[in-house]
Structure 1
Amino acid sequence: MRQSILFVTSFVAAFAAGKDITYDCEQTPEICLNTCWAIKCMKFPAVLDGGNQKDAAASAKYGDTNRRAWGYGSKPCEKHDWAWTTPSGQAATSPDEYPYASSASGGLQTSYGYVQLRCVPSTEQSKQGAKVKGIGTSSDKWQTKWDNISKLSQDWCGPNPTCQNDGHQFTSTGKNGPFSEVPNPKKVRDIASYSEDGNSAWVTMRGDEPVDPEEEEGVEEKRDASNSVGVPFQA
């Protein structure tokens, strides 16, 4: 029992050390869409580790290196026709990436796939910068959440998202591209949880992985089968 109490205390302390990045989707709709597309549609993790760099200068260099890896310097939102005008009439000329460049997963490619990109208004980028400030030097975990998802032009942040690319989600495979539109996922499973009014969303996590409802059902079936023959279930 004492060991269990110590484990629970350690787990709570570790969870408390994490940081929430909560976007108001009425103020940053395009960044909400990019992060929801990456996390909910493409199944990238909602929780990212900080870059763990020693100081601000090292963090800036680290983030710039990761941006160059996917071709930030070739200006995809200016020279490659990915710039567009948002439904609110703003010029979307600043590339937003997920995972964040200064996070531990920043760069061109992770085990989840190539970086997810969207051209967004520079005003939204400024608001995002304030929210993720310090992630490059952090050793914490940073979790993305969303409020006011009903204000968005696409349903990607909401329940049962269609995940049909609106033509503005793209990716890169190298320093100079090529940049290409991200194909729609073949299968969409909603991995998020929602507030009672359905206007806020977050992803239920197990460790750093999204919890797939169908996978959870399979785990429960295995657990029940194991218990029926007296064999302890091992994850």
Structure 2
Amino acid sequence: MTSRARLIVAAGAPAPRRGVRRVAPALDPGARRGLLAHHLPPAPRRRLLPRRPAADVGCGLRGARAVVRAAAATPLRAGAPSVAAARLRVGAGSALIYAPGALIPHAGARHLAALDARVEPGGCLAVVQAWAPGRTAHERGRFHHLRSRVRLAVGARLLLHEDVTVRAPDWPAGDPVAVTICAIGDWAPACPDWWKPALEPLPYAAANPLRGGAIVRALFPALGAAAAFVEGVLRLCANPST
């Protein structure tokens, strides 16, 4: 079974097109609230990558702003390999925060998380990804493999193309929770220095520059600590002007 969703956020809501689950108007850019949508969990895959992404999010017209996040963490079961493929598109003057929730691989899990994101000049994007092996049933270090493939671009300029596969013996000792945040576009979170106050208390964390963005990597001893950090980051990123 495969679950797919397509969400288009625009400053003015056009008529729904065929194949689009939901077309929602963004609130006024100066409003305190924002559009919140729930992310679908990954599904078993029959091929390496689905023909269409499981999550297809477009934040189009100028002034559109949205937050897409999961209601809870997602367990990755043993058996057939699973995939969570997302394609994000952010137009000029728009902002998107994408936080699909922590992934919890169980013993024997084989998972691919594929992200393809493009931001037009003048747009803003933040992507939060978290991996939490060993959080359930004391299955520490027993997943089969986890693969993360990330492609980030601003317009036609490629910022990051990363493809990493990790097997259980390669995971750091103690099974820490790994959080990665990518921020690109014309806003403060795209500057590595902006992250210093949040990262200084953490023993294993760093913010590195991209050409037009920043990538943050941090390790946490428990999922609760990682979740609290992510919540704080989401609150800060909810206002792109700061």
The structure in which a higher percent of residues are strand is 2
The structure in which a higher percent of residues are helix is 1
Structure with larger Rg: 1
- Pick the TM interval, shorter chain: under 0.3
> What TM-score comes out, normalization by structure 1 length?
0.23
> What TM-score comes out, normalization by structure 2 length?
0.22
1 or 2 for the larger relative contact order (CA 8 Å, sep ≥6)?
A: 1
